[in-house]
Structures are given as C-alpha cells and as structure tokens.
Amino acid sequence: MTAPDDGRSSGPPLPGDQAGGSVSPDARGDVRGDVRAGVDAWLAGHGVSAPVPPDAPEDTVTSGPAADDEQVARKILLDQLTGQARSRAELATKLARKGVPDEVAERLLDRFEEVGLVDDQAFAEAWVQSRQAGKGLARRALAQELRRKGIADETARSALEQVDPDDEVDSARVLVRRKLRTAARLDRATAIRRLTGMLARKGYPSGVAVRVVREELEAAGHEADDLHERFD
C-alpha cells in the first residue's frame, strides 16, 4: 500500500531539514547560516559544485569616507609650495582648477598667510632679486612679470624699490657685452638694432638702452655717433 504524499520531495534528506513542522520567522534568521553550510556540504558530497554567491556590496562604513574639500586643498597647497614660493593668486588659481570651492580656498589661503607660508611681499622681493640678477631684467619687465603673477601694484612697487638704478645700468652693460661677441660679425646698423632691441625686451628705457649701447660700441672700437642721432 502506497504511503500518502506528505509534501516532501524524494531523495536523501538535506542537512538542515527539520522535523516537526514549519520554522518560525524568528528562528529562520538563526538557522540560515547553518542551513547554507549544510547544503554546501551535501552538494559537495554528491559531486555537485555549490553556486558562487554574488559579490557583496562595498561597505562604505568600514572603507571610510572620501577626503573632504579642505583635506584636498591643504595637500594641493603644500605640494605647490614644496621647494618653491608662489603668490596667493597662483595658488588660488590652482585650487580653482582642481575644483576646490571658493570659500574653502579662501579660508585655507588666509590660514597659510597667517603662518607665513604664503607671503606676496616676500615672494615679490625674492622674484625681483632673482630675475634681475639672473636674467638682467629691468624694472619695467619685472613689474610686468609680477602683475602676471597676481601681485598687487602696491606690493610690486615696494619690491621694485630694491633695484638700484646704477645696478640696472650695470646689468644692461653686461647684457650688451655678451652680445658684442656675436655682433662683431654684423654691420654697424644691424648690431645697433639688435642690441637696443634686446635691451628694450628686457624692460630698459630707450634712453638707458641708447646710452649703454653707444658707450659699449665705442669702447669696443665701433663707431656709434649715428646711434645717438637716431634716438634724439
């Protein structure tokens, strides 16, 4: 006589099968892990691979929050100031390009100024000294460079006061003497045009350029009387 179907599937019993009726909702959460482990073991014993569970979503709590704007801005500023001074305007431009909010940038730049890490006056003075000695630039060219760096006019004027007019003339002479070595192969008119043009690009006033070129050409044995007449 056939036994009545009690609703259970045929085959070996699965680990975790429980007798005595249904499992209460509260108990399901307690036994779910044990049932899963039992099913995997039973499948392995019968030569069946257990299904691979999908990857768990990233735990945003344990992975930590993303760096905030202030942390990002501080790192940018410190990187920019490593080994080289920069003006406040340069740093503000860099922060803006990196997407740092204006209020965060202003707050951090103010703080960096308070502790002396950003100092436009010191930057301008160092820039003038370096560029005047290294490149022979005159005050007009130096003022243009400081303006491009975002230095305020009043700050730039204060920094440019350190350039002595006599030192500026001496720098012009050095520049002309360097070029005289190659200008010796040129005719007088071409040499004059190139030398005065070079000094003009360096920011020297025309009066200084003419005087220095004439005196240096005369010292080198070139006739330069027509130079004075052309610029009078």
Helix (H, G, I), strand (E, B) or coil at 69: helix
Q: Which CATH number fits domain 69-118: 1.20.1440, 3.40.50, 1.10.10, 2.40.160?
A: 1.10.10
Res 64: pLDDT: 36
Q: Two tokens at 98?
A: 């990196």
Architecture of domain 119-163: Orthogonal Bundle (1.10)
Task: Give the CA dihedral 121, 135, 215, 181, nearest 10 degrees.
Answer: 170
The string of pLDDT tens digits covering residues 107-128 is 999 999 999 999 999 999 999 9
The string of pLDDT tens digits covering residues 182-221 is 877 778 888 889 999 999 999 999 999 999 999 998 887 7
Q: Two tokens at 188?
A: 């007088």
Q: What whole-number percentage of the chain has pLDDT above 70? A: 66
Domain residue ranges in the chain? 69-118, 119-163, 164-232
Helix (H, G, I), strand (E, B) or coil at 4: coil
pTM of the full structure: 0.64
**Phi, psi dihedrals of residue 169, rounded to the nearest 5°:** -65, -40
pLDDT: is 59 or 193 the higher one?
A: 193
Are 171 and 204 a contacting pair, CB within 8 Å?
A: no
Are 128 and 167 a contacting pair, CB within 8 Å?
A: no
Distance (Å, rounded) from C-alpha 60 to C-alpha 147?
47
Res 37: pLDDT: 64
The string of pLDDT tens digits covering residues 28-56 is 445 455 556 665 665 566 565 555 555 55
Domains 69-118 and 119-163 share a fold: yes
Environment class of 123 (CB within 10 Å of its CB; exposed 0-12, middle 13-18, buried 19+): buried
Q: Two tokens at 47?
A: 């030569």
